[in-house]
């Protein structure tokens, strides 16, 4: 098969589609909550449980998470695609994304940042490290509480038929999984 070169600056697009998450946080000074849409989120460790999110330094959420040292990774589904995209188009510096986009903030179990009720799963995180990676910052979070809507997580797997998570293909293109599972017999 002939291999076609792609520009190096488009390398990240070859590891798409990526699961889209909504990260909620709260400004410790003003007490104002915020939401940022993030496609660059990644598990970093099983035990201790750790996840990473990558945020560009100019984002308001970058400032908040650096100060508050905690955040929540919320998993949205296709039913709230429109709100999920909107949270990724405007800045919390000038907008209240919870009220403007009709998303509900609910108290988290451990951290001060609220969870987003309309999402189906939530990972509350305390910041343990902050690493500059080129033009983004990797925020390393230790997961301190994790829970999901009934029927969405069976203790082992996310139910991809029940909750259709959003995957970004690139730019303004999104997809979901069909729910078909391919299992290797052992
Ligand atoms: C689908 C989607 C995925 C995004 N993924 C990221 C990401 O991984 N990292 C990032 O820094 N910005 C990402 N963005 C852009 C931010 O969500 C956007 O700049 C947002 O308005 C920042 O809000 P804030 O200034 O309130 O923090 C994404 C936007 C969209 C629509």
183 band by pLDDT with thresholds 50, 70 and 90: confident
Whether the per-residue pLDDT at 181 is higher than 80: the answer is: no
Nearest CA, atom 5, ligand 1: 38
Whether the per-residue pLDDT at 18 is higher than 90: the answer is: yes
Whether the per-residue pLDDT at 161 is higher than 90: the answer is: no
Whether the per-residue pLDDT at 109 is higher than 90: the answer is: yes
Evaluate whether residue 181 is within a structural domain: no
Whether the per-residue pLDDT at 88 is higher than 90: the answer is: yes
Give the nearest ligand 1 atom to 37 CA: 17
Evaluate whether residue 2 is within a structural domain: no
Whether the per-residue pLDDT at 186 is higher than 80: the answer is: no
Evaluate whether residue 72 is within a structural domain: yes
User: What gap in Å lies between CA 138 and CA 127, rounded to an integer?
Assistant: 10
Terminus-to-terminus CA distance in the chain, angstroms? 31
User: What gap in Å lies between CA 15 and CA 117, rounded to an integer?
Assistant: 29
42 band by pLDDT with thresholds 50, 70 and 90: very high
Evaluate whether residue 184 is within a structural domain: no
Q: Count structural domains, the chain.
A: 1
Measuring CA to CA, how many Å separate 68 from each of 71, 129, 156? 8, 13, 31
184 band by pLDDT with thresholds 50, 70 and 90: confident
* Three-state secondary-structure class, residue 14: helix
182 band by pLDDT with thresholds 50, 70 and 90: confident
Residue 33 Cβ inside 6 Å of ligand 1? The answer reads no
79: containing domain: 16-175
What would the pLDDT profile of 126-144 be if each residue is shown by its tens digit? 999 999 999 999 999 999 9
Residues 28 and 66: beta-carbon distance below 8 Å: no
Q: Is the dihedral of CA 178, 173, 37, 101 positive or negative?
A: negative
Evaluate whether residue 159 is within a structural domain: yes
What would the pLDDT profile of 66-75 be if each residue is shown by its tens digit? 999 999 999 9
Evaluate whether residue 143 is within a structural domain: yes
Residues 169 and 16: beta-carbon distance below 8 Å: yes
Evaluate whether residue 11 is within a structural domain: no
For residue 95, what is the domain's CATH number? 2.30.110.10
- Residue 139 Cα, ligand 1 centroid: separation in angstroms? 14
Q: What is the pLDDT of residue 48?
A: 98
């Amino acid at each position: 098969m002939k291999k076609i070169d792609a520009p190096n600056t488009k390398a990240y697009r070859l590891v798409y589609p990526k699961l889209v998450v909504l990260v909620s946080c709260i400004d410790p000074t003003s007490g104002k909550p915020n939401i940022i849409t993030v496609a660059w989120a990644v598990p970093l460790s099983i035990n201790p449980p750790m996840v990473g999110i990558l945020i560009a330094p100019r984002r308001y959420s970058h400032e908040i998470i650096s100060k508050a040292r905690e955040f929540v990774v919320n998993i949205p589904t296709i039913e709230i695609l429109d709100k999920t995209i909107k949270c990724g188009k405007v800045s919390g510096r000038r907008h209240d994304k919870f009220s403007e986009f009709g998303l509900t903030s609910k108290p988290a179990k451990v951290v001060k940042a609220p969870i987003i009720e309309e999402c189906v799963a939530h990972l509350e995180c305390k910041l343990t490290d902050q690493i500059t990676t080129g033009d983004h910052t990797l925020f390393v979070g230790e997961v301190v509480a994790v829970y999901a809507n009934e029927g969405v997580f069976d203790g082992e797997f996310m139910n991809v038929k029940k909750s259709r998570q959003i995957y970004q293909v690139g730019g303004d293109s999104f997809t979901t999984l069909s729910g078909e599972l391919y299992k290797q017999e052992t």
